[in-house]
């Protein structure tokens, strides 16, 4: 009899522990809880952390995360407005703000991620299809490219390196996707915090053509720089030749001036020396005439002179070497 009482007491105690364990639960700091009874939510969501109580056995605890969660979509190929296929990789951050609505519509995070795939993927495709590629690639609307301050002013004022003007830019395209998607996910008790383009690549089928076009554009720019460089080199060479000719001309003029002054000075000296007497004048005339003979008469030179020629007058009365020997 005593054993029966002990067994009954232990059974009651065990049953009490089971009932107590089934009627209590703990809410974590990062969770919010929906209590369901026979699969249907009862009461309000429990959002405060601590030890809580419920009806044992017939009520179930459904924890729901209240932290900021991440959605990372798979890269998807989609066309732009200018018919270029690009691969877009998007990510977003979201959180559950209405746990009851979330539980009724989605139940768990896996279903939420799947629904976000559909909504964000669709809105991204719509936004990309409405904008040209440059609008999606460029970040800001009025960005000014940096220019090398060492370039000449004519190069800095040219349109080389200028960015193609855009109307919106990537930030506004992201905002369009965010606004459209946030409204649609709100009905599921989800708040969309932000979205960002993680990566945008050209589609594999068009990437070689894009690269070829980029290479062609860079070559055109390089050829333009090369042509302008050759033109500048030709201008510098022309200036060098002009300056050299100018320097040589100035030097020749200076030399001739100095030579003229020297000749004038020499003539003045000769004049003073040979004008001292008639004999000096005759001697000067004789030496100048003798100095001119080597320049006029060569080994095989034949000259016809009149007898009154100044060049001939000093030859009058001269005898050859043979005649002098005979005499």
Local confidence pLDDT in tens for the 327 residues of the chain: 667 777 677 777 776 667 666 788 888 889 999 999 988 889 889 888 888 888 888 888 899 999 999 999 889 889 998 888 889 999 999 999 999 999 999 989 999 999 999 999 999 999 999 988 888 887 766 555 555 555 555 554 555 556 667 778 888 899 999 999 999 999 999 999 999 999 988 877 777 877 887 888 888 888 888 898 899 999 999 999 999 999 999 999 999 999 989 988 887 887 777 676 777 777 777 777 777 777 777 777 777 767 677 666 666 655 554 444 444
Tally the C-alpha atoms within 13 A of residue 76's C-alpha that lie toward its C-beta.
Answer: 19
The CATH homologous superfamily for domain 69-145+164-205 is Band 7 domain (3.30.479.30)
- Look up residue 21 and give its two tokens: 């364990």
Q: How far apart are CA 48 and CA 32, in angstroms?
A: 7
Q: How far apart are CA 140 and CA 147, in angstroms?
A: 18
Q: How far apart are CA 241 and CA 296, in angstroms?
A: 40
pLDDT at 125: 93
- Look up residue 241 and give its two tokens: 């030749």
Number of DSSP helices (H) and strands (E) in the chain, helices first: 9, 9
pLDDT at 286: 75
- Look at residue 79 and give its three-state secondary structure: strand
* Residues 312 and 305 sit within 8 Å (Cβ to Cβ): yes
* Residues 80 and 129 sit within 8 Å (Cβ to Cβ): yes
59-65 and 76-79 beta bridge pairing: unpaired
pLDDT at 182: 94
Give CA separation, 295 vs 145, 291, 299, 302, 320, in Å: 77, 8, 11, 13, 20
Q: How far apart are CA 172 and CA 140, in angstroms?
A: 9
pLDDT at 300: 75
pTM of the model: 0.58
* Residues 8 and 32 sit within 8 Å (Cβ to Cβ): no
Domain ranges of the chain: 2-63, 69-145+164-205
Give CA separation, 170 vs 3, 34, 80, 81, 199, in Å: 80, 40, 13, 14, 12
* Residues 47 and 66 sit within 8 Å (Cβ to Cβ): yes
Q: How far apart are CA 101 and CA 72, in angstroms?
A: 23
Place of tokens 């004008």: 275
């Amino acid at each position: 009899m005593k054993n029966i009482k002990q067994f009954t007491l232990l059974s009651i105690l065990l049953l009490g522990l089971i009932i107590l364990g089934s009627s209590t639960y703990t809410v974590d700091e990062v969770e919010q809880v929906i209590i369901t009874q026979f699969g249907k939510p009862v009461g309000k969501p429990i959002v405060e952390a601590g030890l809580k109580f419920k009806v044992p056995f017939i009520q179930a605890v459904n924890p729901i995360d209240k932290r900021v969660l991440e959605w990372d979509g798979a890269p998807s190929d989609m066309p732009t407005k200018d018919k270029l296929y690009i691969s877009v990789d998007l990510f977003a951050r979201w959180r559950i703000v209405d746990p009851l609505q979330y539980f009724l519509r989605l139940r768990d995070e896996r279903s939420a991620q799947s629904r976000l795939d559909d909504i964000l993927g669709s809105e991204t495709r719509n936004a990309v299809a409405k904008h040209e590629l440059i609008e999606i690639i460029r970040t800001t609307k009025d960005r000014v490219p940096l220019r090398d301050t060492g370039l000449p002013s004519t190069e800095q004022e040219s349109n080389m390196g200028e960015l193609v003007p855009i109307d919106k830019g990537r930030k506004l395209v992201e905002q369009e996707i965010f606004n459209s998607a946030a409204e649609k996910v709100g009905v599921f008790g989800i708040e969309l915090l932000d979205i960002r383009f993680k990566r945008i690549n050209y589609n594999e089928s068009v990437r070689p053509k894009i690269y070829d076009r980029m290479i062609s554009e860079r070559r055109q720019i390089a050829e333009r720089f090369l042509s302008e460089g050759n033109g500048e080199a030709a201008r510098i060479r022309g200036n060098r030749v002009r300056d050299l000719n100018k320097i040589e001309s100035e030097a020749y003029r200076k030399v001739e001036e100095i030579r003229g002054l020297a000749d004038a000075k020499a003539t003045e000296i000769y004049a003073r020396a040979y004008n001292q007497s008639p004999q000096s004048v005759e001697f000067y005339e004789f030496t100048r005439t003798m100095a001119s003979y080597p320049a006029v008469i060569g080994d095989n030179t034949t000259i016809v002179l009149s007898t009154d020629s100044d060049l001939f007058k000093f030859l009058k009365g001269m005898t050859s070497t043979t005649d002098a020997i005979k005499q």
